Amino acid sequence: MSYSKDIGSVRQIPAHFSLKFSEKEIANRVKTLGEEIGGWCHGVWRDSHTDVLAIPVLRGGIFFFADLVRAINASVEIAPVRTEAYESEINGQQRNEVQIYAEKLAVKGRVVLVVDDVCDSGRTLEELEKALLARGAREVRTVVLLRRLLDRPTFVPCWTGFQYEGPEWFVGYGMDDAERWRNLPGVYIIKRDT
């Protein structure tokens, strides 16, 4: 495997990764999203005297979630959930069913913000929203760092950091290449040999 240097550091980036969104671009967009969502959170508090329940979707959403909640200028309660929609060994290979692991998640009567890294088909977020509403959540809103533009999306998040058109697989900033490279500070696309 060949590597290329990440300019300005000693980090070695696989040569087949191409930077799509830099650490600075992500930070700027997350700050803007935090301001928008913070206004909504203040409104929820005014109406109910209850904090928004912010739910990061593990594992991919943790980097985005950590940065986003620090950019929200209102109190939020945090309760993570884990889902599995893709086979971990094969990028882009969807499972037949979305698995949701949230047995002890108490959402009844709560306003919920689901935070995830990417919305491809929207299947995972759609299933998660249905599950939260079935458990009694009063309202569910979603925010993703990246939304893949499709002709017929099944689900559209309430807030989106960046939109992308194309089939390439993302890696970095929480997203993985067969469970590797989640810890890159930017978002890369994986270039495949044609």
Q: Annotated active-site positions, please?
A: 120
Beta-strand relationship, 94-101 and 81-86:
antiparallel
Residue pair 117/57 in contact (Cβ under 8 Å)? The answer is yes
**Beta-bridge mates of residue 143:** 115, 159
Omega cis (within 30) before 59: yes
The radius of gyration computed from the CA coordinates of the chain, to the nearest angstrom, equals 17
Beta-strand relationship, 139-148 and 159-164:
parallel
User: 171 vs 2, 75, 86, 104, 181, CA distance in Å?
Assistant: 17, 30, 14, 30, 7
